[in-house]
Amino acid sequence: MIIVHDIFICKPGNASKLAKKFKEAMAGDSNLVNILTDMTGQYNRVVMVTQYENLTAYEQSWEKMKANPEAMKKMNEAMAGYHEMYLTGSREIYQTW
């Protein structure tokens, strides 16, 4: 099993707005575990946590999304404007034991 953390450092005042966008855009995605916002540590941080059986399943989820134009359109509409909400981001992939 792998856990993926997509981490975004938002512009001040945008963390909760971005978290809400992710929550709406990812509704119904069985891989979504949580959307997190900071309480301690680096300010203005949003972490989207997803879970997959393995790296192949993670890669296949991207291919499945790209192969479905309607789903891509819906995702793009839900995430409109999100690039203006954050400064930087990163992705961490962990293997669970």
Q: Please state, in angstroms and as integers, the Cα–Cα distance from residue 90 to each residue in 54, 68, 70, following that order.
A: 20, 25, 27
What average pLDDT does the chain have? 93
Name the percent of the chain in helix, strand, coil, to the closest 5. 40, 35, 30
Query: Where are the domains positioned within the chain?
Result: 2-95
Q: What does DSSP say about strands 32-37 and 2-10: parallel, antiparallel, or unpaired?
A: unpaired
The type of residue at 66 is K
Domain at 2-95: CATH architecture: 2-Layer Sandwich (3.30)
Q: How confident is the model at residue 48 (pLDDT cuts 50, 70, 90)?
A: very high
pLDDT tens per residue, range 69-79: 888 888 888 89
Q: How confident is the model at residue 62 (pLDDT cuts 50, 70, 90)?
A: confident
